[in-house]
Chain A
Amino acid sequence: MLKINNLHANINGKEILKGINLEIKAGEVHAIMGPNGSGKSTLASVIAGKEDFEVTEGSVELNGEDLSEFAPEVRAHKGVFLSFQYPIEIPGVTVTNFIKTAINETRKAKGMGELPAKELLQMIREKADLLEIDRKFLSRSLNEGFSGGEKKRNEIFQMAMLEPQLAILDETDSGLDIDALKVVANGVNKLKSEKNAVLLITHYQRLLDYIVPDFVHVLYNGKIVKSGGKELAYELEEKGYDWLK
């Protein structure tokens, strides 16, 4: 599904990603771990199409199609979803209106009509229940005054609504207490299927107790220095990152 070939990326002339190779197949869960500043979030942003980064070499392909020329919204329409480490507050736009706009724009891009309000409402209720989100929460301004946990839960709620092929969860566990983490992980697990894939980006092995990865990759200084199964995460937890340098 996702194929990253020798990806190099710069920001303000400084090289952050120095040749990443990664392949993710449908139905798989991959985790990328690594110390601060290793390029984890940059990788997530580059896949999603953030324009601050300049791709100098290599490619990102989704289902055989090179994404490099596509704007972030087009990538989203093609099935890429990025859950932000720090979701942006947008006062004045309610969660519901935001998600409605996102869904209908995606449908428009696919040549489909707007989702009828009744179906949308039903879907909103279903997914909100899945993530144990209070209905009142949905008429609040997007992320404004949300706690860290609420913001992350809201990200996964949007993911549930948009049903992406590839979900990239950037530090979704940070700022979550253990109960919220369980709810979020449970949501992600329920949304998993043979047709989609998940890329988890995390510092800690904690999240991986709840969302079990098929593969774990260690990113260090802009490169994947080691890949393995889920047991690699435990090894990292025990030994830290120093032994890989």
Chain B
Amino acid sequence: MALVSIPATLRLPAGAEIDDAEAERIRHDFPALSQEVNGHPLVYLDSGATSQKPRSVLEAEQDFYETRNAAVHRGAHELAVRATDAYEDARANVAAFVGAEPEELVWTSNATEALNLVAYALSNASVWAARGRGGDEVRRFALGPGDEIVVTELEHHANLIPWQELAFRTGAALRHIPIDDDGRLDLAEAARIIGPRTRVVAFSHASNVLGSVSPVEELVALARRADALVVLDACQSAPHMPVDVKALDVDFAAFSGHKMLAPTGIGALYGRAELLDALPPFLVGGSMITTVTMERAEYLPAPQRFEAGTQRISQAVALSAAVDYLRETGMARIAAREAVLGARLAEGIAAVDGVRLLGPAPGEEWYGHARFGLAAFDVDGVHAHDVGQYLDSLGIAVRVGHHCAQPLHRRLGLTASTRASAYLYTTEADVDAFLAGLAEVRRYFGASARAAR
């Protein structure tokens, strides 16, 4: 898996790294970053929640509306042709970015919708098969009692709840690969759990809480042995490291545009072509049909099969511009830069008295991967909301709460944590400003022994 994730020994040629000087230049492309918040220059360390946007992306969306706005795949006029070209060029560009063919990339509103699309298509296949519709091609996707869906204990709710509900609708059982006290996946247990009954294995490529990169190769091998479908939540990997869905050998992969420099309202689902063309649709309506009578409809092949109704055209065009920006900067360089920032965050956080770093310890690699540019932590005696409020008063934006991963937090003995996450525009000065603020939190709230404000 040399093409994926952060190679532990990644060494870029001398001078090829993104250094602070380049990060400063990159920042100039992001208007939102050059403002003051609460009387301090903004230190934005919440890119794991959503990224800021460069001018080229904002302009691409505006340019679409100013020069090409029309509905796509219908109408014969010139603007409709331009809009359709822009929309399909965007698809090809974003598909290539993750190593897929254009027809293997379905636009969705976000990654949550992409994961729900897979779960509902499988659920519809179960209904179709039960009612004799679609033949063997559909029957192979049908789930029922005795079948198992496997997730991990560290999943974001978006890659957990769709599977809970799919299990409920079909009578299949939902099982999970447990984590240890630190959050590491129990791969021995995974080998026992993933077996002949397993039909789907769904897991995240990179954890939105732990900052760890998953052992994709091992989990895919277990799933392949069981002849199960592999669904990868690539929300935290596609923006931050090179991702090649073919090299990873997954069947489906979901990611969100807004976490990778694009606007909200656009995400994508990668699916292997032969799977997408065989699955029943999820949302149905206009633009995804061949013939319709008053009784029934026939459906187009993928990707149109899964794109009912008027689509997110300007957002897809803007996501394409975002992908251009990332590609020009270089995903391997971004990954290497984030490994540096992630290490700086982890070392700094772990060094603060009374603060517990979640995920890999400083310098530690899990499954052969270094931490990416994200670190969550618990401050003893101070609730995460109070930590976030204190940092906000210094203009430092972090995420607080359970980060949509309640089971993971519960397993770690927490209800909430605070998370700092970096991106290509984050400077070492940002990290250091955050660490300086964090060092004062327990004193402010009277939680440290030497206490007193």
Q: Do A and B actually bind?
A: no
